[in-house]
Amino acid sequence: MMARTNSFRLLLALSVAYCIASLVHFAHNAELLSQYPNMPVWLSRSRVYAAWFAVTAIGALGLVVARSRYALLGFVLVAVYATLGFDGLGHYSLAPVSSHTLAMNLTIWFEVVAAAVLLMFTLRCVLLAGAQAGSRAAGS
């Protein structure tokens, strides 16, 4: 039980770190939208914030579910949340790295690195939860 509590605390800490990194990138994107190269014309400040809220809601739901008897599902939701952090790399499909300012590149990579760390830890949790569920099923 102690290991599970410590794992959840680390999952929570990594989720908060990614949430902050994501907010920094999305807020920078929203507030300086016209300065980001080749952004779609339909994208607006409010849509950027709405997208951040929707992505973050997936992570929050995952954390809540991870504390329930459906922990494996919760971990999968958190993994989906982390995977969405790689979407920031899409900026580079619109324009090369050199077309972005240093601040733009830093916010993009801050989010991507935080997402990668969260994803790696969450996948570890998925594997452990899956193994534990398998051993419980075999013991029944």
pTM: 0.89
* Distances, alpha carbon 44 to alpha carbons 39, 40, 50, in Å: 10, 9, 10
Beta carbons within 8 Å of 61's beta carbon, 6+ residues apart: 77
Supply 101's token pair: 């300012």
Supply 114's token pair: 């935080």
* Distances, alpha carbon 69 to alpha carbons 26, 82, 111, 114, 129, in Å: 33, 22, 30, 27, 11
* Domain residue spans of the chain: 2-139
pLDDT in tens, the chain (140 residues): 445 778 899 999 999 999 999 999 999 999 999 999 999 999 999 999 999 999 999 999 999 999 998 999 999 999 999 999 999 999 999 999 999 999 999 999 999 999 999 999 999 998 888 777 666 666 65
